[in-house]
Structure 1
Amino acid sequence: MELRHLRYFQAVAEERHFGRAADRLHMAQPPLSQQIRQLEAELGVTLFERTTRRVDLTPAGEAYLVRVRAILRAVDAASEEAQRIGAGLEGRLELGCVGSATYSLLPALARSLREQLPGVEVAFQGEMLTGDQVAALRAGTIDLALMRPPGESADFADLAISTLRQERFLVVLPAAHRLAAAAEVSLGDLRDEDLIVHAGHGRSAMYSAVLGLCRSAGFEPRVGHEVAETSTLVTFVAGGLGVAIVPEPVAALVVEGTVYRPLAGEARIDLVLATRADDDSAALRRAVEVLRSQVAQ
């Protein structure tokens, strides 16, 4: 028995006429009649009562039609689902975001993905440090990472990493700080300040970036606190526990008692997207297209 036998049976059962069923199936009537007889022989039951005027279903045929319709609907649905998944129109993705992207990019990106890929279930993990995103990509718990460049000290050949945009630096200051009214803040102005930074030990690319900026200005930074989340970092600044250097999009996070001022100079930090190099998911490709379009806007 093949699926075509079930489709032949359904056509005859619905048309109640071999000639009309043959026309519907775009085939000649004699082969259709032969296929139905073969199906009945295989099942060992009579599905149709045939007269010179009409074709009726037997009780066995009525019951068989109910099952056949369900089977063919399931087969058609499976085919459509496979085609949609193959085209990237259905599926599930998990995206990780560093803190600055969580506040500046994620809201608009989530809306765009819902609008343009409504059949793709997308989950987000915000406030993820770069090192944690690299580990999550390799573990398969996220599929796409919005993060900072992970550095050159390790082998990242298993990841596909590309730059989305470059972002300048801002300094987050308590509102009552002596530099709060300045048009911009230089690195030298921060020489004697307690710095609040993202967690070090390879987990955060921003930790390395901030230390590199300070050392390039000729001083070793005085780290007061290390934190895992950007929201905590800005909150600590609001509490007067120190100052911080952050990428410009963090300014989307408004916390009472803080001000953002440009960091003098041309220093920039990349925001990159990363995926597993061997991930050829069509849904992922479509999501990356939406993401790049969102960033371009």
Structure 2
Amino acid sequence: MTAELRHLRCFLAIADEGTITHAAARLHMSQPALSRTLRALEDHLGVRLVDRSTHHLELTPGGRVFRDRAAAAVAAVDAALDPAGLTSWPLRLGHTGPALGEHTSELLRRWDRRHPQTPLELLRIDDRTAGLTRGKADIALLRAPFTQPGYVTEQLLTEARFAVVAVDSPLAGRTTLTLADLADEPVAINTVFGTTSLDLWPPTRRPTAVVPVTNTDDWHAAIAAGRAVGVTPASTPRMNAHPAVVYRPLTDAPDIPVLLAWRERGGHPAIPELVTLAREILTQGSEGS
């Protein structure tokens, strides 16, 4: 069998929907036909992609890796066949917020002046790689180490971490906080793209409760209600402050790397210019501070 684009689209629908029934309805095809397509793809790859042992299908480890590859391949084909792309080729910069912080607007302004024929699209995509591994972004601003094979990274800067507590919390009266100060409180953790995990604390002094959230609004809400405390990059209070919480420097937590990541081969030809511009803006900002 030769794998075709339809095999990838069928697999991605199954991965997104979690059931053959819902995926078949989304694709307007019968369930038996979709199951046969999945089996054919697995036979071609020689790898089981989906664990069928439960009612709600789960991707195998190989399936999770292949999902990103399949999504990137489908996105590339769709982009190549988009008629709008024949007149201009936008450069898609993915991020999970707050992009390049206070430097974001300057990045966009200078890019528009220097590269008017190549639109720079700033896309907030809430996943760990800001859409990069799924082909939704050509280059991504990330706030976590990224070592996946086939990609290039360049660290632009590091950000300090801040503790975040409700305005009426006893901790709000402190000028600085430590990880130990937060360890007796539930911690709100963004499980989709957050920069905080329990590994930030020493094994012997970790918070015993976690409040999982999936977006910044719910994270702020949990902290503002006094249900949890949080840890965030220094750019958050500058770019996305919340009136019902306070931000205090976290003195003993490691800084967060801010980096650009892009594919090693076959990427957008304007990526080197964007990397150079980001470097230039941050260097000038540092010299002027």
TM-score tier (shorter): 0.5 to 0.7
For residues 100 and 222 of structure 1, do their structure 2 counterparts lie closer, same or farther at Cα, with a shift above 3 Å needed? farther
1:187 CA displacement: 0.8
Matched with 1:249 is 235
2:107 counterpart residue number = 109
**TM-score normalised by structure 2 residue count:** 0.61
2:119 is aligned to: 121
Aligned runs of 1:1-297 on 2, under 5 Å? 91-101=89-99, 103-126=101-124, 128-131=126-129, 133=130, 136-150=131-145, 156-199=148-191, 203-204=192-193, 206-207=195-196, 210-215=197-202, 218-252=204-238, 253-265=240-252, 267-279=254-266, 281-296=268-283, 297=285
- For structure 2, the 5+ residue unaligned runs are 1-87
CA distance in 2, matches of 1:102, 1:230: 17
- The aligned length equals 197
Unmatched segments (≥5 aa) in structure 1: 1-89
Cα offsets for 1:187-209 (capped at 9, x unmatched) = 1111111111111xxx53614xx
Structure 1 letter corresponding to 2:261: A
* 1:144–1:274 contact (8 Å) kept in structure 2: yes
Partners of 1:173 and 1:244 within 8 A in 2? yes
- Amino acid of the structure 1 residue aligned with 2:183: R
Q: Give 1:150 shift.
A: 4.2
Letter in 2 for 1:292: R
Structure 2 Cα separation of the partners of residues 129 and 141 of structure 1: 11
* Identity across the alignment (%): 23
Tell me the SS of whatever aligns to 1:91. Answer: coil
Task: Determine which structure has the larger helix proportion and give its number.
Answer: 1
Residue 214 of structure 1 aligns with an amino acid whose one-letter code is W
* AA partner of residue 120 (structure 1): T
For 1:144, the aligned partner's letter is: I
What amino acid maps onto 2:141 in structure 1?
L
Tell me the CA shift for residue 292 of structure 1. Answer: 1.8
> 1:92-149: CA deviations, max 9, x gaps?
1111112243654433322232233222112122253324x3xx32332210100123
The answer on whether the counterparts of 1:172 and 1:244 sit within 8 Å (CA) in structure 2 is yes
CA distance in 2, matches of 1:239, 1:129: 26
Greater gyration radius: 1
Structure 1 counterpart SS, 2:105 = helix
Letter in 2 for 1:258: V
What secondary structure sits across from 2:200 in the alignment? helix
Compute the TM-score of the two structures, normalised by the length of structure 1. Answer: 0.60
